[in-house]
Amino acid sequence: MFLAIINDSYVEVKAELARKKDGTGVLDWVMSKVRRMMKRGKKPDAPTNDITYEDYKVELIRAGYDEKDINEAFTKYNIESSEAVSDKMMEDLGVEMTAIMDRNKNYTENHKDYIVMNRRVDQIESSIISVVDQIDAVLEKLNKFERDKVRVKEQENRLAIESIFANELRQRQVQPASAEKVAKE
């Protein structure tokens, strides 16, 4: 039965992993396009001299980055809000933001996997507890049968002893009567 429970849990985990979304989201697709563009060294059509800190920050927020992560990246490169952002700085910031997003994505996926596995372990524990409870109930029934068996055996022994005593008592009553007959004769 225990193996059946484990097998059921295994099948459920496999089915859940199969249902897990294999495709990437829209944001991942956009980010992959941005990464490829950065790797190729393409420059945007608009002049980069006009891009400011605020413009770049707004674009990163639209791309799905947290403002906290954006501010950390700008602080790391000592970019102030009044400065214009150069191409090299933009590329460095893009790489930095991509690394942060990848790290956050890995944390999120690991956390989801942890939650799923934790739920599976809880299910297995509850199954094991129910099996142990059933075994305990069977053992209780066996103990009851054993006690009943002992009681029956004690009753049989008591009846056997009583019959032996009754026979012995009858023989003693018969012997004095026969002794009196012999004495009278």
Distance CA 38, CA 76 (A): 20
- Is 21 in a helix, a strand, or coil? coil
Distance CA 133, CA 126 (A): 10
Q: Two tokens at 79?
A: 């970019």
Q: Two tokens at 171?
A: 């023989």
Exposure string of 104-114, with b = 16+ CB inside 10 Å and e = fewer, is eeeeeeeeeee
Q: Two tokens at 153?
A: 């055996």
- Is 42 in a helix, a strand, or coil? coil
Digitized pLDDT (tens) for each residue of the chain, 185 residues in all? 777 787 788 788 777 766 665 555 555 666 776 777 666 655 555 545 556 667 777 777 777 777 787 777 777 766 665 555 566 766 777 777 777 777 877 777 888 888 889 999 999 999 999 999 999 999 999 999 999 999 999 999 999 999 999 998 888 887 766 656 656 66
Ordered alpha helix ranges (H), 52-86: 53-62, 67-76
Entry field: residues in the chain:
185
Mind listing the pLDDT tens digit for each residue in 10-28? 788 777 766 665 555 555 6
Mind listing the pLDDT tens digit for each residue in 53-64? 677 777 777 777
The pLDDT of residue 179 is 58
The pLDDT of residue 43 is 52
DSSP 84: B
